[in-house]
């Protein structure tokens, strides 16, 4: 069954296969053309190189045949249809938002760039050949609906969709961390298959935040430097973010520390505990470049808000690179659809043991970081 939520987000069961998508994929297979390097000006990403597809001497399209054929569609503010962006001189976007054809491409540049960086991250860091590990790229739909404040991944079309945002509070929704977040839902859906409700749902969301953040760091783009916030580029104010991994409770609803009924929170809030774990494992609890006050750890009896203080455990980070490898192996090698927080602790200890040895400092750090968010 499929339908539409009140805010315009499609809802559907994973067994549905999109006839619309199938027709788009087939039409691409008939085109025999050459990859070329184009230049893009994104709203978030600035000036970036894009691998595009030359159709004729005066026409290219926003399709990357060097990365699984991933492409970007302009939805023209509708919820169905749309067509792949094309351009006459292979110079895409203006870096600004607006209604001219070149300005409409600007958000397409960010989406296509986000897909390319995510592809490279998974391939070069984890040896994963595309989201499904089959060499096939996903596609993007931008300018979806009108003033739509969200982005979403759908397994049925193997695609990401991004709204333009309302233009008042929100920017368009295709910042790099959000792109990495959405595509990681695709990775999770064919690896651990974490059910999207209860504690496993929180772990599913956290996995997307963890690798969305990893992608942002991997890009090393001065226009969007790596950090431990999700969606910090989405706010017009420039002073907010959707979520913090350093102190998840900063949003007023997410949990910093585990408690027995955590699983009854929305999955975007129960993710906080695993996001907090990942931050502590990577960076530790002390003040650093990402947080002038550090990340408060938890003491028993405290639930949503981290406490810190003398009684709370001190965590020494092992670095983002090792933390990413541990989470990725846990996701792809040890977690299952019903993994809950206690089982995630076991899965990451198993992954760290496989990577670094049972007596390693990395395994000890995984234990300490989980205990610091009250997962024992």
Pairwise CA distance, residues 72 & 85, whole Å: 6
Q: Three-class SS string for 337-360?
A: CCCCHHHHHHHHHHHHHHHHCCCC
Q: Which position among 64, 182, 209, 256 is part of the footprint of ligand ASN (CB under 6 A)?
A: 182
Nearest distance, CB of residue 208 and Zn ion, angstroms: 5
Confirm whether 182 is a catalytic residue: yes
Nearest distance, CB of residue 199 and ligand ASN, angstroms: 16
Instruction: Catalytic residue, from 61, 126, 143, 182: name it.
Output: 182
Measured at the CA of 290, the angle between CA 285 and CA 295, to 5 degrees, comes to 25
Binding mask of the shown chain, residues 134 to 163, with x at each position contacting ligand ASN by CB under 6 A: ----------------xxx-----------
The option from ligand ASN, Zn ion, Ca ion, none interacting with 177 (CB < 5 to 8 A, set by class) reads: Ca ion
Q: Which position among 177, 199, 256, 324 is part of the footprint of Ca ion (CB under 5 A)?
A: 177
Nearest distance, CB of residue 8 and ligand ASN, angstroms: 11
Residues in the chain: 376
Map the footprint of ligand ASN across residues 188-207, applying CB under 6 A.
205
Cβ closest to ligand ASN, residue 87 vs residue 155:
155
208 lines the binding site for Zn ion (CB under 5 A): yes
Pairwise CA distance, residues 374 & 376, whole Å: 6
Q: How many CB atoms lie within 10 A of CB 155?
A: 19
The option from ligand ASN, Ca ion, Zn ion, none interacting with 243 (CB < 5 to 8 A, set by class) reads: none
Which positions ≥6 away from 334 have C-beta within 8 Å? 346, 347, 348, 350, 351
Nearest distance, CB of residue 99 and Ca ion, angstroms: 28
Query: Nearest to Ca ion by Cβ — which residue?
Result: 177
- Backbone φ, ψ for residue 141 (5° rounding): -125, 120
Query: Nearest to ligand ASN by Cβ — which residue?
Result: 152
Cβ closest to Zn ion, residue 208 vs residue 339:
208
Cβ closest to ligand ASN, residue 155 vs residue 256:
155
Which positions ≥6 away from 315 have C-beta within 8 Å? 280, 281, 284, 285, 297, 365, 368, 369, 372
Confirm whether 268 is a catalytic residue: yes
Orientation of helix 101-126 relative to helix 198-219, angle to 10°: 100
Q: How many residues bind ligand ASN (CB under 6 A)?
A: 7
Percent of the chain that is helix, strand, coil (3-state, to 5)? 35, 15, 45
Map the footprint of Ca ion across residues 212-251, applying CB under 5 A.
216, 227, 229
Helix, strand, or coil (residue 36): strand
Instruction: Catalytic residue, from 181, 185, 268, 276: name it.
Output: 268
Which residues is 50 bridged to in the sheet? 38
150 lines the binding site for Zn ion (CB under 5 A): no
The residues carrying an active-site annotation are: 182, 268
Residue ranges binding ligand ASN (CB under 6 A): 150-152, 181-182, 185, 205
Residue ranges binding Zn ion (CB under 5 A): 208
């Amino acid at each position: 069954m499929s339908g539409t939520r009140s805010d315009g987000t499609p809802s559907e069961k994973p067994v549905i296969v999109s006839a619309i998508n199938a027709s788009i994929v087939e039409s691409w297979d008939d085109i025999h053309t050459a990859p070329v390097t184009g230049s893009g000006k994104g709203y978030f990403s600035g000036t970036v190189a894009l691998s595009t597809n030359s159709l004729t001497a005066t026409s290219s399209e926003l399709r990357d045949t060097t990365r699984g054929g991933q492409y970007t569609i302009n939805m023209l503010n509708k919820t169905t249809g749309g067509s792949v962006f094309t351009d006459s001189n292979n110079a895409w976007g203006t870096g600004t938002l607006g209604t001219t054809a070149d300005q409409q491409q600007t958000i397409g540049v960010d989406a296509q760039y986000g897909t390319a960086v995510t592809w490279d991250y998974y391939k070069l860091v984890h040896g994963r050949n595309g989201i499904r590990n089959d060499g096939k790229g996903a596609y993007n739909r931008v300018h979806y609906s009108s003033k739509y404040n969200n982005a979403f991944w759908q397994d049925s079309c193997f695609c990401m969709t991004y709204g333009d945002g309302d233009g008042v509070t929100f920017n368009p929704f295709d910042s790099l961390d959000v792109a990495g977040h959405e595509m990681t839902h695709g990775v999770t859906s064919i690896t651990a298959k974490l059910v999207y409700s209860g504690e496993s749902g929180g772990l599913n969301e956290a996995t997307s935040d963890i690798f969305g953040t990893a992608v942002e760091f991997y890009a090393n783009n001065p226009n969007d430097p790596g950090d431990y916030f999700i969606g910090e580029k989405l706010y017009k104010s420039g002073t907010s973010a959707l979520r913090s991994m350093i102190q998840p409770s900063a949003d007023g609803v997410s949990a910093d520390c585990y408690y027995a009924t955590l699983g009854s929170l929305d999955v975007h809030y129960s993710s906080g505990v695993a996001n907090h774990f990942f931050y502590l494992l990577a960076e530790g609890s002390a003040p650093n470049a990402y947080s002038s006050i550090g990340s408060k750890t938890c003491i028993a009896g405290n639930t949503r808000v981290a406490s810190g203080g003398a009684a709370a455990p001190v965590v020494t980070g092992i670095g983002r690179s090792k933390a990413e490898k541990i989470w990725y192996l846990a996701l792809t090698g040890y977690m299952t659809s019903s993994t809950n927080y206690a089982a995630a602790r076991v899965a990451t200890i198993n992954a760290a043991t496989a990577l670094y040895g049972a007596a390693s400092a990395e395994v000890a750090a995984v234990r300490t970081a989980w205990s610091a968010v009250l997962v024992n």
